[in-house]
């Protein structure tokens, strides 16, 4: 790891779960806040120089290396170490590091390994751009059936990055249930691509986190066409701060009235509804078919 600071590894079988709010909103946490540990850096573990034997991830269902100043070369070493024994790792937390597109390409060489059984990957705020999204989507298309959660908030996806991800999402073998793309500079075209891909393979996605993007009313209309699909099983949708006005709220309300059974949680804070849109949302929540739906905001 860059800077040579040690990282405490999880105990055998430890499952690092329970972060249900998007990591982009979690308090800053640095490696220095972890308990002191003699465990060496990612680089030294992978190169065998300080442990005397290859790193063995067997039994460690999850590894948390969030915000540890890991750079591109460290991602290469980590991917190489995990490829030597890929079948036991289920969760990999790498948010807030300096991966860049090159680091993600190294990690992608692990993801397309048919023996890789990773189910949850966290890469929030890792300086990933178009090429990194392309590599990630390509690798997961090669080995799509295990990944369940993909956390990519705070990267520069833009519409082109979403286009790469959409080619994964529309794959019938893709079983992704949770996708986090908060604050990724996604515009109307990205929302159109995302909705189209999920309409072609709608039955697995349960949570979609898209706040702080540039959806606008047009982007929300595309998403609404997904929500009214009776095969859509989406349970949580986050659209905070997406520049939605009355027109977008009307499209959302209409879609949810036509297919009220799935969605349980809708986040609409920090948008700009007028009185008529507020009334539509109130009527929606009073509808007996929508009693299970909790609307946050706007």
The pLDDT value given to residue 60 = 54
Rounded CA-CA distance 267/269 in Å is: 6
The pLDDT value given to residue 285 = 81
Residue 221 has pLDDT above 80, yes or no: yes
Which pLDDT tens digit goes with each residue over 60-92? 566 788 889 999 999 999 999 888 877 678 999
So where are the chain's domains?
A: 69-296
Q: Which CATH superfamily does the domain covering 69-296 fall into?
A: Ribonuclease Inhibitor (3.80.10.10)
The pLDDT value given to residue 196 = 96
Rounded CA-CA distance 65/265 in Å is: 30
Which pLDDT tens digit goes with each residue over 273-288? 888 888 888 888 888 8
% of the chain residues with pLDDT over 90 = 56
Residue 8 has pLDDT above 70, yes or no: no
Q: Please state the rounded mean pLDDT for residues 169-177.
A: 94
Tell the residue number behind the tokens 């806040």, with chain if given. 33
Which pLDDT tens digit goes with each residue over 100-144? 999 999 999 999 998 898 999 999 999 999 999 999 999 999 988
Residue 39: band (very low, low, confident or very high) from pLDDT cuts 50, 70, 90: very low
The pLDDT value given to residue 21 = 42
Rounded CA-CA distance 210/239 in Å is: 5
The pLDDT value given to residue 2 = 38
Report residue 14 as tokens: 């430890």
Spatial contact of 244 and 215, defined as CB atoms under 8 Å apart: yes
Who's near 44: CB < 8 A, 6+ residues apart? 50, 51
Residue 227 has pLDDT above 60, yes or no: yes
Q: Please state the rounded mean pLDDT for residues 239-263.
A: 90
Rounded CA-CA distance 122/72 in Å is: 16
Report residue 6 as tokens: 């040690």
Spatial contact of 184 and 158, defined as CB atoms under 8 Å apart: yes
Which pLDDT tens digit goes with each residue over 10-20? 333 333 333 44
């Amino acid at each position: 790891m860059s800077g040579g600071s040690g990282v405490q590894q999880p105990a055998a079988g430890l499952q690092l779960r329970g972060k249900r709010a998007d990591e982009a909103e979690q308090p800053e946490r640095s490696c220095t806040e972890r308990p002191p540990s003699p465990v060496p850096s990612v680089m030294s573990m992978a190169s065998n120089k300080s442990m005397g034997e290859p790193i063995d991830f067997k039994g460690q269902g999850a590894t948390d290396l969030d915000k540890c100043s890991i750079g591109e070369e460290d991602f290469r070493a980590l991917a190489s170490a995990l490829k030597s024994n890929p079948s036991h790792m289920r969760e990999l937390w790498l948010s807030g590091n300096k991966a860049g597109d090159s680091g993600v390409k190294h990690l992608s060489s692990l993801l397309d390994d048919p023996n890789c059984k990773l189910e949850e990957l966290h890469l929030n705020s890792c300086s990933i751009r178009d090429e990194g999204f392309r590599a990630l989507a390509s690798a997961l298309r090669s080995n799509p059936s295990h990944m369940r959660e993909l956390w990519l908030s705070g990267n520069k996806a833009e519409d082109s990055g979403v286009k790469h991800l959409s080619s994964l999402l529309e794959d019938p073998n893709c079983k992704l249930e949770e996708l986090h793309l908060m604050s990724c500079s996604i515009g109307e075209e990205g929302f159109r691509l995302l909705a189209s891909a999920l309409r072609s393979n709608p039955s697995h996605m349960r949570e979609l986190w898209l706040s702080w993007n540039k959806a606008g009313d047009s982007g929300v209309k595309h998403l609404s066409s997904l929500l009214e699909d009776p095969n859509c099983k989406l349970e949580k949708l986050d659209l905070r701060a997406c520049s939605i006005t009355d027109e977008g709220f009307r499209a959302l309300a209409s879609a949810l009235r036509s297919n009220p059974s799935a969605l349980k949680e809708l986040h609409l804070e920090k948008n700009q509804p007028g009185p008529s849109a507020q009334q539509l949302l109130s009527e929606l929540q009073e509808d007996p078919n929508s009693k299970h739906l909790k609307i946050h905001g706007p």
